[in-house]
Amino acid sequence: MIAHFDVDAFYASVAIRDDPSLRGKPVAIAGSSRRAVVLTASYEARPYGVRSAVPLYRALELCPHLIVVAPDMAKYKAVSRQIFDIVAERGYPVEALSLDEAFIDLGEAGSETAVAEVVKLRTDVLARTGLTISVGIATGKMIAKIASDQCKPNGMLAVPPGDERAFLAPLPAGRLWGIGPKTQARLAQAGVTTIADVATLDDARARALFGSWFDNVRELARGVDRRRVEPDRETKSISSEETFEFDVRDEARLREVLREQAFDVARKLELEDLSAATVGIKIKRADFRVFGRQTRLAVPTRDAERIFAAAGHCLTRAALNGAPVRLLGLRVGSLVAGMEKQTSLFEAAPQIVS
């Protein structure tokens, strides 16, 4: 069985836990900049329409007595680590999706054993962190995730083996993985609104609606989900980016930002004991056009100055000529394990035996 857990209103719950005066009130976690959006809203704020990704000014219109709390990423990371440690203690493989969400592979355990394990886990997390998690349990990842969503907050929902298709049948087709709003609208036009409708499509219609992956979609709709939990997903790239409160035209200022990001990325490389052989930048211009530049290093590095030099070179090549920039990011890739091994001719004077 596979379990999917999600911490209830994670950032908001941490804030309320640490400041009981917020309990029972509408709380939103958001930055203070002009373009801030709500990162998490407490359950008390949600009836007003305040939820994640809503612009802060809009959230305050919807709920004028909303209490806005600044995010504390360092604290969230620490709490997240604590929760993942509790999960890890139980010895099951874990695939983290974000700071507050993960799949757990409960192995060959039957439904009842799985439920018992999850009950222990939820009790443990609450006792040791003061936070509640919602957990869905099923034979596949997709259903486990839908189940945890449905039982929020502070809930648990198990879909026993054999009940998958019945569980999915009444849900809107858009709940299937890979079906976004556009596809959903197209399906609705064709009279396909529920997952049951998708599950019963014949080959010809399924192919017409979904193209070459029709079989996968229909299998998912019938409750067949073969994807396994993939623990310790390998880091492919590391990045750092910043959206500016006001668009930046000054290249010297952009360079300063890249320097900070280079140090940030170098620190992350060190934490993961990696070195990078490619360095790239990402630029979103004021007109929302996104583009990038990338350069390859002869020798992989985790040195902040070398990463910064390469990123600066990319910025020069981007030839912005004063165009306003809304977002700037630095990304390193082609990661290899360990420190830079290649020694350098000019950085260390050779030992000369006299």
Q: Beta-carbon neighbour count of residue 56 at 10 Å? A: 21
- Residue 242 beta carbon to another protein: minimum distance, rounded to whole angstroms: 21
- Integer Cα distance of 286 and 256 in angstroms: 19
Nearest of 180, 225, 181 to residue 199 by alpha carbon: 225
User: What's phi and psi for 234, nearest 5 deg?
Assistant: -70, 135
Residues 228-287 close enough to bind another protein by CB under 8 A: 277, 279
* Comparison of 34 and 317: residue with beta carbon closer to another protein: 317
Which one among 313, 318, 323, 327 touches another protein, defined by CB under 8 A?
Answer: 313
- Rounded least distance, CB 309 to another protein, Å: 6
**Between residues 128 and 296, which has the closer beta carbon with respect to another protein?**
296
- Residue of 154, 152, 158 whose CA lies nearest to 132: 154
Q: Is the sign of the CA dihedral 139, 143, 145, 148 positive or negative?
A: negative
Do you know the residue count of the chain?
Answer: 354
Can residue 299 be called a binding residue for another protein (CB under 8 A)?
Answer: yes
CB of 279 to another protein, least distance (A): 7
Catalytic member of 61, 101, 241, 251: 101
Quick one: which of 300, 302, 328, 332 contacts another protein (CB under 8 A)?
300
Q: Give min distance, CB of 93 to another protein, in A.
A: 20
Least Å from the CB of residue 352 to another protein: 5
Residue 16 belongs to what H/E stretch? helix 10-18
Least distance in angstroms from the C-beta of 62 to another protein: 48
Confirm or reject binding of residue 193 to another protein (CB under 8 A).
no
Quick one: which segment of 48-56, 76-84, 225-233, 292-300 binds another protein (CB under 8 A)? 292-300
Q: Cα separation of 339 and 333, whole Å?
A: 15
> Any idea what DSSP says for residue 173?
G
Among 189, 232, 252, 346, binds another protein (CB under 8 A): 346
Based on CB atoms, which residue is closest to another protein, 52 or 295? Answer: 295
Task: Select the span of 100-108, 162-170, 222-230, 307-315 touching another protein (CB under 8 A).
Answer: 307-315
Alpha-carbon distance of 198 to 218, in angstroms, equals 6
Element (H, E) at 112: helix 111-129
Give the whole-angstrom CA distance, residue 299 versus residue 281: 19
Count the site residues for another protein by CB under 8 A. Answer: 30
DSSP string, 209-276: HHGGGHHHHHHHHTT---PPP--SPPP--EEEEEEEEEEE--HHHHHHHHHHHHHHHHHHHHHTTEEE
- 101 as an active site residue: the answer is yes
Nearer to another protein, 176 or 274 (CB): 274
- Annotate each residue in 86-105 with x if it binds another protein (CB under 8 A) or - if it does not, as one string: --------------------
CB 182 within 8 A of CB 137: no
217/314 with CB nearer another protein: 314
Which residues contact another protein by CB under 8 A? 277, 279, 295-300, 309-310, 312-314, 334, 336-337, 339, 341-347, 349-354
By annotation, the residues acting in catalysis are 101
